[in-house]
Structure 1
Amino acid sequence: MSFDTVPPPAHSSISVEAARALVESQAPEYAHLPLGQHYEGWDCAMYRLGGVLAVRLPRTADAVRFLLAETRWVPELSAGWSFPFPHFPFVGVPGAGFPFPWAIVSWLPGDMAVDVPLLASEGPTLGLALAEVHQVAPLEAPINVEQSIPMTARSEKVLRRVAVLGERGGPNGERLDTDAALALWATASGIPDPDRSEFVWSHADLHGANVLSMDGRFAGIVDWGSMAACDPAVDVGFAYSLMPGEGVASLMAAYGEATGRVDDAFVARARGIGLAKAVGIAMNAKPETLAMGWRALDALGLCLPART
């Protein structure tokens, strides 16, 4: 998701009637289940289907690739995952006036972490979940054009956004410590990137709209359509937007014990990714998203108090 844009308009065929017709014509074994609440995401719209399922409909032609990636890679790679994640009991084809593939997906309960951030105590739990996800990725694994990139390729956006946020400040009067942010970025971007052979399968979009929270407890990861081979520090860096800084520290400790990947260079890269994501999220006009970005900056230790 790009946090400095608005969602594209949804295809006009998306409706509860279309969802019902698709289920009845292609997955009649689920047709007895009632269709419920409608949720409008960035890439997909969803309608609850009974108590534990949902109908997932790509909102645009471009979003189809995310659904196809998710329904391919999650079943293939998830055999060793012990945390909650979506299952796909049915994948459908265009029909009933709807022009794209679609799916029936398991419904995971919980709130988005953008609304209910994870407690710091959940760091080890999320760290072990990421250790399960981060299997070594073969050279033929897909590449994410936003996340499978060198650190220096992020510099132009990071530096521009640091300058803007340094002038703008946060929603509660907090201020960005621009000197500390620039020093963090100089360290992160000065470290050699890992070799492609060290890349791992990654969620690659692990912000607070894709991580679930149950009263602050980690409750699962959704929306795997951006999955790709990345530096393992990428997903860990996203965690600054999910929980306080001490939680990320305990996440890294648990992740490092499970994988052996965490050293000073890894921590610096993860903090650099955290900054890159935080300044992008904090540019958003949506209040809850903007607040998540400033929470991430605070978790990185980059916030100064409001002037009195």
Structure 2
Amino acid sequence: MTAPSPRHPKIEVDVTADLARALLAEQHPDLAHLRLHGRTFGWDNLTWRLGDHLALRFPVREMSALLVEHEQRWLPVLAPRLPVPVPVPVRDGAPGLGYPWVWSVVPWLGGEVVAATEPSTRTTWAAELAGALASLHVPAPADAPVSLHRGVAPATRDDVVSGRLTADLPHADALRTAWRAGVAAPPWRGPALWVHGDPHPGNLVTADGHLTGLLDFGDLCSGDPASDLATAWMTFDTAGRAAFVARTQAARAWDDATWVRARAWAAAMVPVLLAHPEEYPLMAAVGRHAADELALD
């Protein structure tokens, strides 16, 4: 292990190529000969590509280790019902050699990360994302994960989110208005549904005008689907959002209050996405886009 990269302030534990290969050699020796390349950092995990078709997914914070366990437990259950590829773990990794948490070997889902694309190009697959989320948004079992941050009523997060919606944010008044409307809206009264938790453009990949991957189920939980529907503002422009909403309504016919809460969650994500613009420039661009769309819509 090495010290965390100064450009990724959330990372508590780094995983070098030497450590990743040693863990493979110890736990999955038949994969240890494959080339390690293309290391990327996220807020909760880092990823090493392994050969051409696999990747290694390592938690980089103590709080994110449980999220990988959720993926290992539930993605094999959920993947067969989803119409888009998802990174179902093909091998589970255990703590070892000084690395403290579980980790996964997952398939590499090819395509371009949506956060790096122009929003005007995304309308072609907006209905595909809507269909994928509609397929996911079904009643979850009693032992499904729950979250304090996703799938909950906006009112439960009001103190935290209101404190983040400061005057220096782009379109601050529009963000506050959207959030207050969500807090005041009727809460979700239906059964607890499966919720992806984070379907923003950094967790979507596309190729040739189609959605080719829905990534990072670390925030998978059960509850109100509105927090997932916030992607309508984070991901799309006006045309794409119309296509996304139309396909969603055809599949699930959510009430107006659900969309009000969804819009509130999009506003709540803006300060989070803008928090580290130098370290995570693509996420900052997503935050600025969401603020612009909320101000327009």
Same fold by TM-score, threshold 0.5 exceeded?
Answer: yes
Tell me the SS of whatever aligns to 1:38.
Answer: strand
Query: Which residue matches 1:129?
Result: 132
Gaps of 5+ in 1: 1-5, 170-175, 304-308
Partner of 1:3: none
Give, in whole Å, the separation in 1 of the partners of 2:101 and 2:161: 36
Q: Which secondary structure does the structure 2 equivalent of 1:68 belong to?
A: helix
Contact 2:166 2:172 in 1 (8 A): no
Query: In structure 1, how many angstroms separate the alpha carbons of the residues matched to 2:102 and 2:275?
Result: 33
Structure 1, residues 106-130: CA drift from partner, whole Å, max 9, x if none? 1112232222255123221110010
Distance 1:183 1:65, change over 3 A: closer
| Structure 2 CA distance for partners of 1:214 and 1:301, relative to 1, 3 Å | farther
Q: Which amino acid aligns with 2:260?
A: A
Residue equivalent to 1:281: 273
- Equivalent residue letter for 1:101: V
Aligned residues: 287
Structural mapping, 1:156-235, within 5 Å:
156-165=159-168, 169=170, 176=171, 178=173, 180-195=174-189, 197-214=190-207, 217-235=210-228
**Structure 2: distance between partners of 1:93 and 1:285:** 33
Question: Does the aligned pair in 2 maintain the 1:134–1:200 contact within 8 Å?
Answer: yes
- CA distance in 1 between counterparts of 2:82 and 2:160 reads 34
The 1:111/1:187 distance shift into structure 2, 3 A limit, reads same
CA pair 91-79 structure 1, distance change in 2 beyond 3 A = same
Deviates more, 1:221-230 or 1:131-140: 131-140
- What secondary structure is seen at the aligned counterpart in 1 of 2:206? strand
CA distance in 2, matches of 1:7, 1:270: 29
Q: Report which structure shows greater RCO (CA 8 Å, sep ≥6).
A: 1
TM-score when normalising by structure 1: 0.83
Larger gyration radius, structure 1 or structure 2: 1
CA deviation profile, 1:158-210 (whole Å, cap 9, x unmatched)? 44444423xx54xxxxxx172x4444334322221012x43210111222221
Residue of structure 2 equivalent to 1:30: 31
CA contact (8 A) 2:165 2:172 kept: no
3-state DSSP of counterpart to 1:125: helix
Give how far 1:52 is off: 0.5
- The question of whether the paired residues in 2 share the 8 Å contact of 1:238 and 1:277 is answered with no
In structure 2, how many angstroms separate the alpha carbons of the residues matched to 1:134 and 1:193?
16
Write the distance in 2 (CA, Å) between the matches of 1:62 and 1:184: 29
Give per-residue Cα distances to partners, 1:240-281, cap 9 Å, x unaligned: 111213312221211121123x22222222212222223432
Taking a change above 3 Å as real, the CA distance of residues 128 and 38 of structure 1, as seen in their structure-2 partners, is same
Q: Which amino acid aligns with 2:219?
A: S
Residue pair 1:88, 1:105 contacting (<8 A) in 2 also:
yes
8 Å CA contact 1:111, 1:213 repeated in 2: yes
Counterpart of 2:141 in structure 1 is 138
Q: CA RMSD in A?
A: 2.5
- Give TM-score scaled by structure 2 length: 0.86
Gaps of 5+ in 2: 1-7
